[in-house]
Amino acid sequence: MKILVVDDDEMVRFVLTEKLAESGFSATAACDGRSAVELFHNTLFDAVLLDLKMPGMDGIETLRELRKHDPDIPVIMVTAFGDIATAVEAIKLGAYDFVEKPPQVSRIMLTLKRAIEKATLERKVRDLGKSVEESAALKQAYQKLRELDQAKNTFLSSVSHELRTPLTSIVGYADVSRKKIMKLIPEFSPDNPKNIKILHQVEANLEFLISESERLTGLIESILDLTAMEAGTAEWKWEPLSLSQVIENAAADYSQKLKGKGLEFVVAIDDDLPLIKGDRLRISQVLSHLLSNAVAFTDQGRVALRAKKEKNKILVSVSDTGRGIIASSQGLVFEKFSQLGDALTDKPKGVGLGLPICRLIAGYHGGKIDVESEPGKGSVFTLLLPVEEAMKA
Amino acid sequence: MKDQEQIDRVRALQWLDGDEKMLARIKMIFKRNIPSQVDQLRGFLDAGDKSSTELIAHTIMGSSAMLGASGMCDTAREIERSAIEGDMNSARLSFAGFVDEYEKVMAELAEEGGKL
């Protein structure tokens, strides 16, 4: 089995090629993306271990080039501190999995063996498909299998990276803070500006620790929520619901935040909204998420929360004058791990589970959620709740 | 690990599944490569070159993490983070602390030179 190791760090290249050789693989190393692509064109490899962050051609660009040449090659990304945006991008481009640096040799070997096994099986299934005159049913089943496998891989990789990233930061910052304090204690003097500076650094680190811990907690809650809803095991508390009241409460919760950001906040709720049967907390969760997104992505102008009855539907909309979402990404914002930040070609915010959860909640109420947006002008998210359906729930 | 030790041997061996010979060999690569990388980092910081600073700090961070040199890794990470944020003043400020950690690591490697 021939493995291509691509990394700009000689230590990583050395360890991986030596250990691969010890395990019976034939390993070739490349120190950058361009050399890797060149090698790939001249040699048949069975798998690639590819660094994500490299000078010149980075891991993502290299992955694209390699897969142009061989779309089935198993590629495992090696990254120091994987961020979700690049992680998801690489998985979408067909990377099998990620391992973090420093790379633990035994884990890499295991992942590599699994990747090769999977690629071999896929090839066998494909060959089988050919041998039975490319049976349409088999091809269809194979395609479905690939889609399911890809979805599972995307989910698992994204989740594991999202869990590890804040944990790595938490451990790192806690360790740095501990060391700073340990160093400071024997020589501490309140009059020494250097000592005060260190205390401020530790304070900033602790703030970061708290925010990363909160992010992690939020992520875990979102995953549990989403999993339970998808599996149909989530608990629902159906009751006759005054949407006006739920909307007013959400508006009250966000008015300070909007004011604090200097944004105008318009609330317009029709007087004659009928009661529906719904889950108060879940509807509040949807409104809270939509308002939170509006605050996050609007730097100036206005956010509006409106509700009205139209025929047998209640329309609740959250509109903003924010950055908007490019047309090609509007359909993706309700997909798992497709963050709004991505869709706006901006830095990701959140983990990309909020809107998929909102869509599931709307669905459980017999309704739906839509978005209309224009880049640079703003977005309108509309929650439609069919009154009759909701009453039956 | 003793307080004065910069290289966490136990941690480094974890990545290498306990391979002592491999650790000795990566120490040699580290000693050979890192001084020029530190020089490059200094040059990029002086020139205010954000992307090159980010990349070389990232490489140094990876190498020092692999060696178990956590102090050096942490300070390289600070520089990388500042460069990503475009705050080259903070990156330059962190560089002083980084050099301190780097010199301690190199001194420790020089001291145990015979053992390599």
pLDDT tens by residue, A287-315 = 999 999 999 989 999 999 999 999 888 99
CATH of the domain at B51: 1.20.120.160
- In-domain check, residue B19: yes
Residues ≥6 apart with Cβ < 8 Å to A32:
A6, A8, A54, A55, A56, A57
pLDDT in tens, A20-38: 998 889 999 999 999 999 9
Identify the pLDDT of residue A123. Answer: 80
Identify the pLDDT of residue A340. Answer: 46
**In chain A, where does DSSP find H-type helix?**
10-22, 33-42, 59-69, 84-92, 105-131, 136-184, 193-231, 243-260, 280-297, 327-330, 340-343, 354-364, 387-392
- In-domain check, residue B1: no
pLDDT over threshold 70, residue A161 = no
A333-359: average pLDDT: 65
Percent of chain A with pLDDT over 70: 87
A147-169: average pLDDT: 68
Name the residue with higher pLDDT: A219 or A241.
A241
Identify the pLDDT of residue A393. Answer: 42
pLDDT in tens, A43-93: 899 999 999 888 889 899 999 999 998 888 999 988 775 555 676 677 778
Question: Taking the CB of residue A147, how many other CB atoms lie within 10 A of it?
Answer: 10
A162-182: average pLDDT: 79
Partner A contacted by B65 (CB < 8 A): yes
For chain B (116 residues), the mean pLDDT of every run of 10, in chain order, is: 69 87 93 95 96 94 91 93 92 95 94 61
Name the residue with higher pLDDT: A238 or A168.
A238
Chain A residues with beta carbon closer than 8 angstroms to that of B16: 15, 105
Question: Residue A348 — very low, low, confident or very high, per pLDDT cuts 50/70/90?
Answer: very low
Identify the pLDDT of residue A195. Answer: 85
Partner A contacted by B94 (CB < 8 A): no
pLDDT over threshold 70, residue A97 = yes
Boundaries of domain holding B65: 9-115
pLDDT over threshold 50, residue A242 = yes
Chain B residues with beta carbon closer than 8 angstroms to that of A106: 17
- In-domain check, residue B3: no
Name the residue with higher pLDDT: A77 or A103.
A77
Cα of B113 to nearest chain A Cα, Å: 18
**β-pairing, A47-51 with A302-310?**
unpaired
Task: Name the CATH architecture for the domain at A2-134.
Answer: 3-Layer(aba) Sandwich (3.40)
Question: Residue A233 — very low, low, confident or very high, per pLDDT cuts 50/70/90?
Answer: confident
pLDDT over threshold 70, residue A274 = yes
A268-280: average pLDDT: 90
Identify the pLDDT of residue A130. Answer: 67
Identify the CA nearest to B75 among candidates B88, B63, B91. Answer: B91
pLDDT over threshold 80, residue A235 = yes
Identify the CA nearest to A73 among candidates A93, A59, A51. Answer: A93
- CATH number, domain A238-392, options 3.40.1670.10, 3.30.565.10, 3.20.20.80, 3.30.420.40: 3.30.565.10
Question: Residue A206 — very low, low, confident or very high, per pLDDT cuts 50/70/90?
Answer: confident
| C-beta of residue A381 within 8 angstroms of C-beta of residue A371 | yes
Domains held by chain B: number: 1
A371-385: average pLDDT: 93
A364-379: average pLDDT: 92
Chain A residues with beta carbon closer than 8 angstroms to that of B62: 9, 11-12, 80, 101-102
Angle between helices B50-67 and B88-111 (to 10 degrees): 30
- How far is residue B106's CA from residue B100's CA, in Å, rounded to a whole number? 10
Question: Residue A341 — very low, low, confident or very high, per pLDDT cuts 50/70/90?
Answer: very low
| C-beta of residue A6 within 8 angstroms of C-beta of residue A30 | yes
A368-373: average pLDDT: 93
Q: Do B30 and A11 touch (CB under 8 A)?
A: yes
Chain A residues with beta carbon closer than 8 angstroms to that of B52: 55
Q: Do A102 and B25 touch (CB under 8 A)?
A: no
Mean pLDDT score across all residues of chain A: 83
Peptide bond into A102 cis (omega under 30): yes
- How far is residue A92's CA from residue A185's CA, in Å, rounded to a whole number? 49
- CB within 8 Å of chain A, chain B residues 24-53: 25-26, 29-30, 33, 52
Identify the pLDDT of residue A133. Answer: 60
Chain A residues with beta carbon closer than 8 angstroms to that of B8: none
Residues ≥6 apart with Cβ < 8 Å to A17:
A5, A27, A28, A29
- Retrieve residue A322's tokens: 């924010």
Name the residue with higher pLDDT: A98 or A50.
A50
- In-domain check, residue B101: yes
Question: Residue A152 — very low, low, confident or very high, per pLDDT cuts 50/70/90?
Answer: low
**β-pairing, A2-6 with A47-51?**
parallel
Identify the pLDDT of residue A344. Answer: 42
